């Protein structure tokens, strides 16, 4: 890769959802051309990109065409076929490489990588048969959680075991392939942190976000997380270690558990900008998308500063209609609409970011809207 991929060059994005769209906004702001590969017509990214190749992600010819027309390739989700990317690496810069994809596509590899990097993770074991499950349950104990090593997201492909009698039902997950059994962490808080790194090895870490999930889908992020400063720094240090050990180029999201005793366990990695980092668009000196674009284009990374504490709330399909009224009702709230056509239940349609100096009253104000109440 030459030193810089300069503005007016073309960034090709694999995947046309909201993450690609917000990446495209950052890229366009800096004067880049943007192309996207996605099968859906008028997908969120295509609405803001310069051009759109409408084809499946695993369509090798389409990927070659994207590579041909781009100066640098990136992706907005982890389930991109690494082998296809390897095929186009001679034609176009892929600064993120494929190692990161291969690790994050596979929960077992991800856990092994974290453990070997000295990052604390919940005790886990590889499970291929019901006999493995019986045996490992004895060591790991209950509660525990069985997870498929491939393809799971937002709590899909998971089974929580409370007692030995749950083993038979949990074992049905094994039909989907190899799994891991993890000890249940009695966490006090779930947090995440975004880290950016460029090819020269410079890193920049974002503030720690406190995440509240509902039905395993992220509902709300509070930044900075309500944990002591020392713990925040430890979380940020973990992020830097992971970024270096991975030779990360671009932005990576790390989800972690914090226990009441102040222990930290890394849970999951996302090799791209992450939903819990959206607050950075308004609340930080540079957003996670700005940093991703800078990093993959070879530029230096400024230190990120939090301008104001923030709360981000996701707008799912069932919230959309009323959440869009916030544009009239709450002029200071930043309402984002991803431009998706069908507002299905549980589907991420947009988000709202609220900058605040009084977290408690902001949380109360969010509740008063009743949009996110049951």
Binding site for ligand AMP (CB under 6 A): 122, 145, 152, 155, 182, 184-185, 187, 190, 213, 216, 255, 267-268
Q: Which residues of 157-183 are buried (b: 16+ CB within 10 A; e: fewer)?
A: bbbebeeeebbeebbebbeeebbbbbb
Tell me the two tokens of residue 259.
């226990």
Nearest of 326, 274, 346 to residue 336 by alpha carbon? 326
Identify the three-state secondary structure at position 156. coil
CA distance 295 to 271: 13
Least distance in angstroms from the C-beta of 87 to ligand AMP: 30
Is the CB of 268 or the CB of 290 nearer to ligand AMP? 268
Strand partners, 16: none
Distance of CA 303 to CAs 152, 195, 202, 239, Å?
33, 11, 10, 14
Residue 153 beta carbon to ligand AMP: minimum distance, rounded to whole angstroms: 6
In angstroms, give the least distance from the CB of 100 to ligand AMP: 18
> Which of 198, 201, 209 is CA-nearest to residue 251?
198
Q: Which is nearer to ligand AMP, 77 or 184 (CB)?
A: 184
Cβ proximity to ligand AMP, 89 vs 216, nearer residue: 216
Radius of gyration (Cα) for the chain, nearest Å? 21
Q: Which CB, 200 or 216, lies closer to ligand AMP?
A: 216
Least CB distance from residue 149 to ligand AMP, whole Å?
A: 11
Q: Measured between alpha carbons, how far is 54 from 40 in angstroms, rounded to an integer?
A: 7
Residue 268 C-beta: closest distance to ligand AMP, Å: 4
Instruction: Give 154 or 282: the residue with its C-beta nearer to ligand AMP.
Output: 154
Shortest Cβ distance from residue 257 to ligand AMP (Å)?
A: 6
Maximal CA-CA distance, the chain: 61
- The total of other beta-carbon atoms located within 10 Å of residue 288's CB is 29
Phi then psi for residue 318, to 5 deg, are -70, -15
CB of 132 to ligand AMP, least distance (A): 17
Task: Give the shortest CB-111-to-ligand AMP separation in angstroms.
Answer: 10
Cβ nearer to ligand AMP, comparing 145 with 310: 145
Nearer residue to ligand AMP within complex by CB, 109 or 330:
109
User: 191, 169, 190, 171: which is closest to 181 by C-alpha?
Assistant: 171
Which residue, 39 or 151, is less far from ligand AMP as judged by CB?
151
CA distance 4 to 120: 36
Among residues 169 and 216, whose Cβ is nearest to ligand AMP? 216
Measured from the CB of residue 121, what is the shortest distance to ligand AMP in angstroms?
Answer: 9
How would DSSP label each residue in 52-73? EE-S-TT-HHHHHHHHHH-SEE
């Amino acid at each position: 890769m030459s030193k810089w991929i300069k503005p007016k060059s073309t960034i090709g994005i694999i995947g046309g959802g909201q993450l690609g769209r917000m990446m495209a906004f950052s890229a366009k702001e800096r004067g880049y051309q943007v192309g996207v590969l996605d099968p859906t017509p008028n997908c969120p990214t295509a609405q803001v990109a310069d051009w759109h190749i409408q084809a499946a992600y695993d369509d090798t010819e389409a990927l070659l065409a994207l590579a041909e027309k781009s100066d640098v390739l990136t992706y907005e989700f982890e389930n991109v076929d690494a082998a296809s990317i390897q095929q186009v690496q001679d034609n176009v810069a892929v600064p993120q490489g494929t190692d990161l994809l291969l690790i994050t596509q596979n929960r077992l590899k991800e856990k092994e990588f974290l453990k070997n990097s000295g990052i604390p993770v919940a005790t886990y074991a590889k499970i291929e048969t019901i006999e493995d499950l019986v045996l490992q349950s004895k060591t790991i104990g209950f509660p525990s959680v069985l997870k498929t090593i491939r393809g799971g997201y937002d709590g899909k492909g998971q089974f929580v075991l409370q007692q030995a009698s749950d083993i038979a039902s949990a074992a049905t997950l094994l039909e989907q392939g190899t799994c891991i059994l993890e000890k249940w962490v009695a966490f006090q808080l779930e947090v995440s942190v975004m880290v950016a790194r460029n090819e020269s090895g410079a890193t920049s870490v974002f503030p720690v976000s406190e995440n509240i999930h509902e039905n395993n889908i992220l509902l709300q992020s509070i930044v900075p997380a309500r944990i002591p400063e020392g713990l925040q720094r430890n979380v940020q240090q973990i992020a830097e270690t992971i970024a270096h050990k991975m030779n990360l180029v671009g932005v990576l999201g790390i989800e972690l558990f914090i226990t009441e005793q102040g222990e930290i366990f890394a849970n999951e990695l996302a090799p791209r900008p992450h939903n819990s980092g959206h607050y950075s668009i308004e609340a930080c000196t540079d957003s996670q998308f700005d940093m991703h674009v800078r990093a993959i284009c070879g530029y230096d990374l400024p230190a990120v500063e939090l301008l104001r504490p923030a709360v981000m709330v996701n707008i799912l399909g069932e919230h959309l209609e009323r959440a869009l009224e916030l544009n009239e009702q709450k002029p200071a709230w930043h309402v984002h609409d991803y431009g998706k056509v069908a507002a299905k239940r549980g589907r991420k349609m947009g988000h709202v970011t609220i900058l605040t100096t009084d977290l408690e009253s902001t949380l109360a104000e969010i509740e008063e809207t009743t949009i996110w109440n049951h």
